[in-house]
Every structure is written in C-alpha cells, then in structure tokens.
Amino acid sequence: MNQTHLDVTIVIGTFNRADMLKDGLLSLDKLNRTGDITYEVIVVDNDSTDHTSQMVKDTQSEVGYPLRLFVETQKGVASARNLGIKEAQGEWVAFFDDDQLADENWLVELLAMAQEKQCEAVGGDVKLLMLEPTDRQLDKTCRRLLGEMYGLTEPCEFNRVLVPGTNNLMIRKSVFERIGIFDTELVDGGEDADLYRRMREGGVVTWFAPKAIIHHMIPPYRMEDQYMMWTSLRQGNHVAYREYKDWGFFLLPVMTAARVARAAVKFVPPYLLAKLKGDRETALGHRCWIWFTEGYVRRAISLLSPFKQNSFFSKINFREGRQKLAKQN
C-alpha cells in the first residue's frame, strides 16, 4: 500500500512474544480510521529466539496497513524503539507494546486530544486483560504495577509525578529532533521515564486521553508474588534514577532517607496488620511499596557509590529476570 502522507507510525519493540504480538497486530487492523487517518506499523524484533520475525512476515499479507519489520540486535527496548523512530515515516510516532490489544478508537482518540489541546504528546489509558479467569480482587497498587492507569477518568496534563507509560504514548516526531531519543544505556528499564523527563525540560506538554484505550494482556504468572516483587524493584529503580536526574547527587541521599522513613511509617505497619488478618491482597499491595523502596535504595546506592561495579544494585538484572519468570510459568 503506497501512502503519500502518513499521520502516525506505530512502533512496537518485541522480544520472544510472537503469539501475543500477533494478536496485537490483528487488533491494529481493526482501528477506526475516521477522518481518513493513515498509519503504518513498524515491528522491531529485538533479537528474539522464537518465530517472531517469520510471524510478522506472514502477517504482512493479512492486514490492511503497511507493516514493516526490522531487527535490532543491541539488547534493550530503548534500542528497539530508537530504530523504530529512525525508520518512522509518520508525522506522529505512537508506541505500542507486544502484549497489548488496541481499542478500535485508540488512534482516533490520541489524535483528537492532540488537536484539542494543541500539544505535542498524548498518553492514553491502560486496562488490564486477564488471560485466565480469576476471582482475585487485586489491590490498586498491584493494578498500577501491572500497567493500569488506576483512578484516572478525565483528561489531565501529565506532570513530574503523573508520568505517562510508553506503552500508550504518541509523540510528534519532530520532538525527538529537539530532546533526543531513548537512552540506550538504560537496558534494565527507566528509558521511558528518562525520555519524559527530557520532554518536560524541553517544554513538551503531554495530555492524558482517557478514551484512547489499550488492553494489557496479563498471564497468570504476572499476578504472583515473585513477579510483583520483580516489577516493584524495577519501578523503584526507575524512580530513583529519575529523581537523581531531577534533583542531583547531593539531594538524592535526602530523598532516599525520606523514602525509607515513609515506607517504615506508612507501609510496614499496615502490611503486618493485613498479614495478621489474612488479607492477602491488601498485604501484597503494601509489600509492593516496601519492595519499591528497596529498589529505590539499591539504585540510589549505585548512583552514589564510587564502586558501581560492586554496588548492591548490580545484582538485579531485569531483562534476565523477566525471561526467567515467564519460563517458570
């Protein structure tokens, strides 16, 4: 399909999730194209060892949009997304993950919010899609860790505390010429928070579009305690790095002490109480905040230590951890 103009390039970085990715690509074929919206999809295979590349090639003839495939051997979602940005032909770049399904109005709503607010970036809503039935009532903290934009129902402007997820974020391509692309040194995560920090510093206004919905597919193992621990540590790591960039070397120890004190007062007592009551979900929610604090402290030690190669944080390998958790389940 030849296009003289493309409104949006949808970029998907992927690693060993061929079957989930296939469902996502088919959902993108059902997007509402009101107003003659034009879009392409770029899949960047981040050196997968499964049948991802062949699946994408087979899918090219099944969908009605231009679908292009690239392979990036440098590990890390930042490298994959950067290649997608480089190859994008659209006026806008929308990031989408390999374990998601798009609502049919997803792209229409992102573009409508950009037009309404005259902004250069828009983030959308994330709903959880459990792949197996469950009667568990997850705590709001756990739902947020799984990607849900819990509690947001109205349009609002993102800020230093309310940060958009890059799994549902559309940015005008010209923005990257001003602020740069993803930091490829952040191979264990935090590349999205770092990009958003530079967007804020560069004066890029980002709005939340509640009707621009993607559905995040959740396999059962992601609701287990081990996965919650992994992702809580990961989130704490990200926030520590972002605050280090925001506040600098000398304020980070103060922020770290405040985080530890907050956890000791606000999360440890209710966690112990919930454990005594046998309230698993509430206890897990508070425990996640304690793990988050641990991840924050580990990253802070790494950033402040002159012996970074021997730092406490260096024992955490998030990419390897994700693979092990998935294989175990």
CA terminus-to-terminus distance, the chain: 40
Contact status, residue 245 vs residue 197, Cβ threshold 8 Å: yes
SS3 157: strand
Phi, psi of 89 (to 5 degrees): -110, -5
Give the list of residues 6+ apart from residue 3 with CB closer than 8 angstroms, or none: 38, 40, 66, 89
CA dist., res. 159 & res. 197, Å (int): 10
CA dist., res. 278 & res. 271, Å (int): 11
DSSP string, 16-71: S-HHHHHHHHHHHTT---TTT--EEEEEEE-S-SSSHHHHHHHHTTTSSS-EEEEE
CA dist., res. 267 & res. 294, Å (int): 13
- Burial (Cβ within 10 Å: 0-12, 13-18, ≥19) of residue 260: middle
What structural domains and CATH numbers belong to the chain? 8-221 (3.90.550.10), 224-328 (no CATH)
DSSP state of 250: T
CA dist., res. 275 & res. 202, Å (int): 45
Name the residue among 158, 175, 194 with its Cα closest to residue 77.
194
SS3 189: coil
The tens-digit pLDDT sequence of the chain (329 residues) is: 445 678 999 999 999 999 999 999 999 999 999 889 999 999 999 999 999 999 999 999 999 999 999 999 999 999 999 999 999 999 999 999 999 999 999 999 999 999 999 999 999 999 999 999 999 999 999 999 999 987 889 999 999 889 898 999 999 999 999 999 999 887 767 788 889 999 999 999 999 999 999 999 999 999 999 999 999 998 998 889 888 888 899 999 999 999 999 999 999 999 999 999 999 999 999 999 999 999 999 999 988 887 654 444 444 554 444 555 555 55
